[in-house]
Amino acid sequence: MQAFKAETPGFVTDTAGLQCLFDVLADEGYRVVGPTLRDDAIVYGDIDGVTDLPSGWTDRQAPGRYALERRQDNALFGYAVGPHSWKKFLFPPIETLWSAHRGADGAMSVTVPERPADKFAFVGVRSCEIHAMAVQDKVFGEGAYVDAAYAARRSDAFIVAVNCAEPGGTCFCVSMETGPRAAEGFDLALTELIDAGEPMFLVETGSEAGRRILEQVPHAAATAAQAEAAMTVSERAAAQMGRSLDTSGIKELLQSNPEHSRWDDVAARCLSCANCTMVCPTCFCSTVEDHSDLTGQNAERVRKWDSCFTMDFSYIHGGSVRASGSARYRQWMTHKLANWIDQFGTSGCVGCGRCVTWCPVGIDLTEEVAAIRAVPDEGRSR
């Protein structure tokens, strides 16, 4: 069993303290978003307080299946990640990049829309999601072309992590070494201690901003027993992963099997619907649409989430490069698990399991990798 040890004993607070945290964040000008119930699912949306959290609910997840269930207790964070990821706030699904106007004198003016002043506080961020943000930071925030709007939203964000107690049936963060316990990348991290009946939270601080906010929230020093209980929560979670993925030599495995028969096998099941890429917290691809209006005097460029599963995505002169379903699935999975390492120095997968749960036909990438690994030399490039 994976063992965890707290670096500092941390602090404890209760549900009232958590409510106070929400209030302090709101007073500090943050737009507080977190898990809440909607449409028989736990989604991320605006929350005012503790009563907006999915108290006493959990989720049952399997490939292509998701359902809520009542818990035996009143845990506020007793579930895994749902259909949404924080990406929708940091990298909005649809965003106007600029608009242009041609004046009566023929001169062009270009306007970049004012960025909403939202400063987000994300409450309930799981360790895998912190890793996903770090992956997207490399894409949008580093290199020669920084996405300024993303970078601003990201640096403004206040992260309240929650260490997972109840991994889902499609979780495999332990395999990806991205969880279940948040090690860094948060301002505050909570571990819910439910055994006492009513939720208690062990609080760790991860930044100066986190320490400053915590000072305004009623809390006490954690006892050694409470700190140990929090470690036990993470240890239990680590032992309950619904899935596992053997990552040893995965880059070479996938890169050397472009002709494996499994790609055709999965293509027979794959809908090319793109749901996996939409729910993936690291998938970053977008398209831009240019629109001119009826007068021909106004134009705008709109960025939208796109996917390597669409035909337009790989369209170049003469047609789409990845015309077959097997080519599109291979592109997605090989990029995510192998070529990403070449490109960004990390895997593109954080083991959150969303692509498995939210695939309408339940394609499980851990199973697809295992199938290729089982016959590793079959599809070597020639």
Residues that bind another protein (CB under 8 A): 38-41, 43, 64-67, 82-84, 88, 93-94, 268-275, 278-279, 289-296, 304-307, 309-312, 325, 357-362
**For another protein, the closer CB: 142 or 289:** 289
**For another protein, the closer CB: 175 or 314:** 314
**For another protein, the closer CB: 112 or 271:** 271
**For another protein, the closer CB: 181 or 322:** 322
Place of tokens 């055709």: 264
Q: How far is the CB of 290 from another protein (least distance, A)?
A: 7
**For another protein, the closer CB: 41 or 233:** 41
Q: How far is the CB of 8 from another protein (least distance, A)?
A: 38
Q: How far is the CB of 288 from another protein (least distance, A)?
A: 9
Q: How far is the CB of 287 from another protein (least distance, A)?
A: 8
**For another protein, the closer CB: 298 or 343:** 298
**For another protein, the closer CB: 239 or 323:** 323
**For another protein, the closer CB: 222 or 280:** 280
**For another protein, the closer CB: 289 or 378:** 289
Please provide residue 373's backbone torsions phi and psi, each rounded to the nearest 5 degrees: -65, -30
The vertex-19 CA angle with 192 and 185, nearest 5°, equals 55
Alpha carbon distance 298, 108 (integer Å): 9
Q: How far is the CB of 6 from another protein (least distance, A)?
A: 36
Q: How far is the CB of 215 from another protein (least distance, A)?
A: 35
Please report how many Cα atoms fall inside a 13 Å half-sphere around the Cα of residue 331, on the Cβ side.
Answer: 20
Q: How far is the CB of 141 from another protein (least distance, A)?
A: 22
Place of tokens 């590793």: 376
Alpha carbon distance 233, 201 (integer Å): 12
Q: How far is the CB of 59 from another protein (least distance, A)?
A: 11
Q: How far is the CB of 156 from another protein (least distance, A)?
A: 21
Q: How far is the CB of 65 from another protein (least distance, A)?
A: 6
Give the residues across from 143 on adjacent strands: none
User: Is the Cβ–Cβ distance between 180 and 238 less than 8 Å?
Assistant: yes
**For another protein, the closer CB: 88 or 236:** 88
Give the residues across from 41 on adjacent strands: 38
Short-list 300, 307, 303, CA closest to 94? 303
CB count, 10 Å around CB of 265? 14
- The amino acid sitting at 51 is T
Angstrom CA distances, 123 to 29, 49, 55, 90, 135, stand at 15, 11, 14, 14, 19
Short-list 126, 122, 242, 231, CA closest to 178? 126
